[in-house]
Amino acid sequence: MNSERYYLGIKSDPDFNVKLTGSWETIIGENDTFVHITEYENHGGFDRSFRLIRDSDHIKSYNDMLPFLTSRTTQINQEFAFFPSSPPRSQGGIFELRSYQLKPGSLLEWESTWRRGIEARRKLIAPVGAWFSRLGRLHQVHHLWQYPDFETRSEIREKAWQGDGWSDTVHKTTQLAKFMDSAILVPLPFSPLK
């Protein structure tokens, strides 16, 4: 698989210092879409890695993927400080990536409200990570959850609505969003998060 060669290649190359958080295929949402989350050492680390990839053997794996792509989107995101990404793990199941297009200027209010409400969700399930966009499509927030299966996802979400704090958080944050998306992802065989 070309993507496996590419992502594992840059992840394992010590010159790049790139961390591959995870790689998934979308099974509900934008089908035939793959999501790859890589982490760099700030913007300088991205600049350095981008230049090195262009002049390395990894460019062949990259170019080998291109005939199979119909579109690509790249976004630079930053982790929310109160919601650090999980380390690699192999728990199995499905992942849910939720994305919110916020109204411009509402990120701080969204974060403040969500920070309080997320504690209600943490009592039921540990979040995988959450990010907000810095470059690319702006005013977006993403968060990632892992469930053993769809049934467990449904049960946990029902329990969240019954607990204190979650319904109020959802009510307030949805007023700050223009639209929201939910995608169900399954990890690719080489994904560190499984």
Taking all residues of the chain, what is their mean pLDDT, rounded to a whole number? 91
The model's pTM is 0.91
Strands (E), the chain: 19-28, 34-39, 76-79, 94-102, 129-135, 140-147, 177-187
- What is the strand order of the sheet 177-187 is part of? 34-39, 19-28, 177-187, 94-102, 140-147, 129-135, 76-79
Report pLDDT for 136: 95
Backbone angles phi, psi at 63, to 5 degrees: -65, -30
Asked if the model's pLDDT at residue 17 lies above 90, the reply is no
Q: Average pLDDT for residues 86-106, to the nearest whole number?
A: 93
- Of 80, 181, 82, 77, nearest to 138 (Cα)? 77
Long-range contacts made by residues 68-71, C-beta under 8 angstroms, separation at least 24?
A: 68/2
Per the model's pLDDT, the better-predicted residue between 28 and 43 turns out to be: 28
Residue 168 and residue 125: Cα distance in Å, rounded? 18
- Residue by residue, what is the 3-state secondary structure of 52-109? HHHCCCHHHHHHHHHHHCCCCCCCEEEECCCCCCCCCECCCCEEEEEEEEECCCCHHH
Per the model's pLDDT, the better-predicted residue between 116 and 150 turns out to be: 150
Report pLDDT for 162: 87
Residue 183 and residue 194: Cα distance in Å, rounded? 16
Q: Is residue 148 very low, low, confident or very high in pLDDT (cuts 50, 70, 90)?
A: very high
Report pLDDT for 126: 85
Residue 164 and residue 29: Cα distance in Å, rounded? 30
Domains assigned to the chain: 2-23+36-68 (no CATH), 76-187 (3.30.70.100)
Asked if the model's pLDDT at residue 189 lies above 90, the reply is yes
